[in-house]
Homo-oligomer: A and B are copies of this chain.
Amino acid sequence: MTSEAENTTETEDATRRSIGARRNPASEEAILDAAEAVLRENGIAGFSIEAVARRARAGKPTIYRWWPHRTALMLDVYKRFKNAKAFPDTGSLRGDLVSFLGDHLLGFWNGSLCGTVYRAVVAEAQTDQEAAKVLNAYHADRKAYSTRIVERAKARGEVPADTDAALVMDLVVSYAWHQLLLGQTEEALQTVPQVIDMILKGVPGLRQ
């Protein structure tokens, strides 16, 4: 009597059976689709395993089998958007960082589902020990990747070889997190160049 109620977005008309003793990619996709849809429609607060299972017409155990936590599921939703990951080489460190902060972080998060998901993941990590591990691992991985921007600048001779690449990137990422978690990505996008300049050049006119 309520069979068509959930079929708002799904083309899966019939029941999705097992395909033997191995993971069903159709189920995985349906679950990730449902997770995305739930997040999009009901926000972080409405995101529950129950809701995702209902939406995906999947059993809760099927979800728990493959994703140990809500966080793992969220991160997988997040990763589906992280396809284009190369940082464009603008020829200068400043340009690279402006692009990174503006396009890769704030612009990527702003208004899109990704921002919502990432906020949720960070929030979850504050509560759940296991989620924190997952987030830390993901974060370390991304950091190792993004420091290449500074390494590229070193290779260009733009900055000394002993520049603390991790610290530079930390400042950029920290700023982006802060704005994201305060729900201010929109406003922050307006001042990206100033932020990068402050990080690169410090407080102008500082009397030392």
Residue numbers of A with Cβ under 8 A of B are 44-45, 93, 119-120, 122-128, 132, 135-136, 139, 157-160, 163-164, 167-168, 170-171, 173-175, 177-179, 181-183, 191, 194-195, 198-208
Contact = CB atoms under 8 A, between A and B. Distances in A.
A59 to B, nearest CB: 9
B125 A164 contact: no
Contact of A171 (B122, B123, B132, B198): B198
8 contacts: A44-B126, A119-B126, A123-B126, A158-B206, A167-B191, A171-B199, A177-B178, A198-B202
A44 B124 CA distance: 11
A33 B48 CA distance: 32
A160 B44 CA distance: 43
Contacts of A173: 178
A204 B162 CA distance: 10
Q: In the complex this chain forms, how many copies of it are found?
A: 4
A176 B175 CA distance: 10
Contacts of A139: 182
B122 A126 contact: yes
- Indicate the member of A139, A158, A182, A204 with the most B CB atoms within 10 Å: A182
B178 A174 contact: yes
Contact of A127 (B45, B136, B171, B201): B45
Given A167-B198, A199-B199, A201-B203, 18 more contacts: A44-B127, A45-B127, A122-B123, A122-B181, A123-B126, A123-B127, A132-B183, A136-B182, A136-B183, A160-B205, A163-B203, A164-B194, A167-B191, A168-B203, A171-B174, A174-B179, A178-B178, A198-B199
Contacts of A171: 171, 174-175, 195, 198-199
Contacts of A174: 171, 174-175, 177-179
A170 B178 contact: yes
